[in-house]
């Protein structure tokens, strides 16, 4: 008995020495590191004006931030939100969530909280017919409810994620070989050359728009234009938060995160729509692309990105024709939609940074040639 007890005690001692103590030390230094980053950022905000380059995270800070196991946390959150809720718990729990994030239950197709079996089902709630009218006169409408982070013309292959913080068009979309099949991107291609290579009509320009979906927003996203999708590129990426405060801090945030880039054509040429993943987004689902699997382990998806050609010549793969306002997919919590598209040079947006928008409302002013052509159709 004494020998057994001594053996167990020795085994326990080894466990503490080789596993528990190092784990505690890692947690301690990790916590100290995060606190140091937070204090450093607080000091920067007090000593530098808003939108100063000094407020953008340094490479080492981003690296440290990415050490946090956001992907595992998000998978755990996805599992938790799909757990079945007993009927007696639905109204208090879902009601608390609705009040906390200002969800408008009057717009829900089913406003009875007792009918939602889990939190994820409530996230994906559908709306009543007619509560999101699609502007028929506008060629480009909002693809979702949310807050406008930024928009504008793509300049020299760069886009603003928020004012003063830019990211690369080429890094976000990846190699532009979706029209002619796999090929090597020209060596030494500049950001501007990459941008121009996307244009179908060289007299047009590229425009972009970033919309942030908060946890309380309607979580489905719709087609903003009439177009045809013929290519999808899935970047497994990270799952960093896309909250506006993080978007101001981490340059190139959307290029780091998991995303599904859908590319195709609309009447003016190139068009792409990208749902971007984020912390605690259980998954991104696109109804017409059942092969898409998001929020997987790195071992399941080890490559930087995965391409799918949606062409009638491909086996078991067809183009996806989408009409303006048609439902496209859904998030399992708030995230971000990025639109990048070709349009005439006089295209002008009708929105403001920070503005709350609703799916179906027009995104551009009535004076542009895009508007005139939409009216003619």
Distance CA 199, CA 271 (A): 10
> Of 208, 219, 222, 268, which residue is the catalytic one?
222
Burial of 110 by CB count in 10 Å (0-12 exposed, 13-18 middle, 19+ buried)?
Answer: middle
DSSP labels, 57-83: PPHHHHHHHHTS-HHHHHHHHHHHHTS
Q: Which of 138, 223, 335, 368 is catalytic?
A: 335
| Catalytic option among 74, 145, 219, 283 | 145
Whether 335 sits among the annotated catalytic residues: the reply is yes
Q: Is 52 tagged catalytic?
A: no
Give the torsion through C-alpha atoms of 296, 303, 261, 197, to 10 deg.
170
Instruction: Characterize the bridge pairing of strands 158-162 and 220-222.
Output: unpaired
Contacts with 140 (C-beta within 8 Å, 6 or more apart), sequence order = 224, 225, 341, 343, 362, 363, 364, 370
Contact 146, 213 (CB under 8 A): yes
The reply to whether 145 belongs to the active site is yes
β-bridge partners, 205: 343
Cα–Cα dist 264/320, whole Å: 9
Here the tokens at position 225 are 């234009």
CA gap 249, 15 in Å, rounded: 40
Structure tokens at 238: 């990270």
Q: Which residues are catalytic?
A: 145, 222, 335
């Amino acid at each position: 008995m004494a020998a057994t007890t001594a053996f167990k005690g020795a085994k326990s001692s080894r466990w503490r020495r080789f596993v528990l103590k190092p784990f505690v030390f890692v947690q301690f230094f990790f916590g100290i590191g995060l606190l140091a980053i937070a204090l450093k950022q607080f000091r920067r905000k007090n000593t530098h004006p808003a939108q100063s380059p000094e407020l953008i995270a340094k490479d080492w800070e981003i690296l440290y931030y990415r050490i946090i196991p956001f992907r595992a946390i998000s998978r755990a959150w996805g599992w938790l939100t799909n757990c079945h809720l007993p009927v007696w718990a639905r109204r208090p729990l879902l009601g608390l969530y609705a009040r906390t994030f200002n969800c408008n239950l009057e717009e829900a197709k089913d406003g009875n909280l007792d009918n939602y079996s889990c939190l994820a089902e409530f996230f994906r709630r559908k709306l009543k017919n007619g509560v999101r009218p699609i502007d028929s006169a506008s060629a480009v409408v909002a693809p979702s409810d949310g807050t406008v982070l930024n928009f504008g013309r793509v300049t020299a292959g760069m886009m603003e994620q928020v004012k003063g913080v830019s990211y690369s068009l080429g890094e976000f979309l990846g190699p532009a070989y979706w029209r002619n099949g796999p090929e090597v991107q020209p060596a030494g291609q500049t950001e501007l050359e990459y941008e121009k290579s996307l244009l179908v009509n060289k007299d047009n320009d590229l425009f972009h728009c970033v919309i942030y979906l908060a946890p309380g927003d309607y979580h489905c996203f719709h087609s903003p234009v009439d177009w045809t999708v013929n290519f999808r590129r899935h970047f497994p990426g990270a799952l960093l938060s896309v909250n506006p405060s993080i978007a101001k801090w981490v340059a190139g945030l959307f290029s780091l995160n998991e995303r599904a880039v859908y590319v195709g054509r609309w009447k003016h040429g190139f068009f792409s729509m990208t749902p971007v993943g984020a912390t605690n987004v259980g998954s991104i689902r696109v109804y017409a692309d059942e092969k898409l699997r998001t929020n997987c382990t790195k071992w399941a998806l080890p490559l930087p990105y995965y391409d799918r050609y949606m062409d009638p010549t491909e086996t078991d793969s067809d183009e996806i024709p989408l009409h303006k306002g048609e439902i496209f997919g859904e998030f399992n919590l708030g995230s971000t939609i990025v639109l990048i598209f070709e349009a005439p040079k006089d295209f002008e947006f009708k929105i403001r940074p920070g503005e709350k928008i609703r799916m179906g409302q027009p995104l551009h002013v009535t004076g542009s040639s895009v508007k005139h052509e939409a009216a003619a159709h």
